[in-house]
Amino acid sequence: MKQLIVNADDFGADSCRNRGIAAAVAAGAVTAVSVLVNGPAFAAGLPLLGGWQRRGIAVGLHLNLSEGRPLAKGLAVLAGVDGGFQGKTAAHALLLQKNNGKLAEDIIAETEAQIARLRETGIRIDHLDGHQHVHVFPGAAAVVVAAAARHGIPRIRLPAEPLTGDDPGFPCGPEGGQGLLAPAGDRQRERQPAKAAGDPGKQGQTRLNGSSRAAIPEDAAVLPTPSLLREAALFSGLATAARPLLAAAGIRTTDHFRGLCLKSRLSLPLLEVVFRELPAGLTELMVHPGDLPGTADAVAGPFAAFATGDRQRELAVLLAPEFLGLLKKYEIRLISRPEAGS
């Protein structure tokens, strides 16, 4: 059996993100939501969260140690001179450190504060994951897992996904054709003539490298950039290393994860590749739908960069009728959380 949790990250970042996630939930495409409790639009989105949870949508904490302002006071290491978090690059460098007692104290304090903030609203925390995957870094993983166990949070995300052609189920191989898709030269040679303009199938077709599988549209044959692959490899490796911590604490995770290499690339043709080759078991698909700012939106501060065309394109993919059609085509069952006994 193939089961899928579609999890939308960054709820609370701004009104544009909240609006996009709400549209995807209403369409039945998103089954779980992760919440930035220090986001500027967190309070405004609370009425939605309670209603979603009553309808069966899973709501989780999107633990943030990198952007915006912390909830805990007096952080000695994580906060900068202005009292705010130090940004993605600086936070990741800090969290790669091991055996840093002051850092661990900061993470404990901030994790507890963010858990308390979400719980005091009446929301049950169904899962925990990290903004920019901070929760799997070696400086944070043990602390975060221990906090989740203390508070009875049943599931933590492990963003470990295949990055090479060893797993044919995901087009995330290194450039040069070692992954699922053919090298650029082969793509050029195998490209079929484009159809006439206006034809919905006008995109050229590309065959999978060394495979007899069906052809896929040209726009699904664009490999991730080297920088995206490096980042995906970092997160995936750290997640794999953190897996024993979850097992020891009795905290669940999904069998599989997809989304690192879909960043800024999500499309229906690419999703068809992912869904067609999805392995049996439970997979989490991480998405980031949003909307572009309107005249009434106040988008500023550290989360302002989130309201981009990439987010709106992700939303369009999730809202397309073909999205649910692909799930049906490949017999994938949408769920919100791991089922008892599975």
Which residues 6+ apart lie within 8 Å of 260 measured at CB?
159, 161, 172, 228, 231, 232, 235, 236, 286
Strand-strand pairing, 256-258 and 281-287:
parallel
- pLDDT tens, the chain, 342 aa long: 999 999 999 999 998 899 999 999 999 999 999 999 999 999 999 999 999 999 999 999 999 999 999 999 999 999 999 999 999 999 999 999 999 999 999 999 999 999 999 999 999 999 999 999 999 999 999 999 999 999 999 999 999 998 764 444 455 654 333 333 333 333 332 233 333 333 333 333 322 223 323 333 445 455 678 888 889 999 999 999 999 999 999 999 999 999 998 988 899 998 998 999 899 999 999 999 998 766 555 556 676 666 667 889 999 999 999 999 999 999 999 999 987 765
Residue from 264, 270, 259, 266 nearest 203 by CA: 270
| Domains with residue ranges and CATH for the chain | 2-173+224-334 (3.20.20.370)
Q: What is the pTM of this model?
A: 0.85
List the catalytic residues.
9
Which residues 6+ apart lie within 8 Å of 333 measured at CB?
1, 2, 3, 4, 327
Q: Rounded to whole angstroms, how far apart are CA atoms 307 and 199?
A: 31
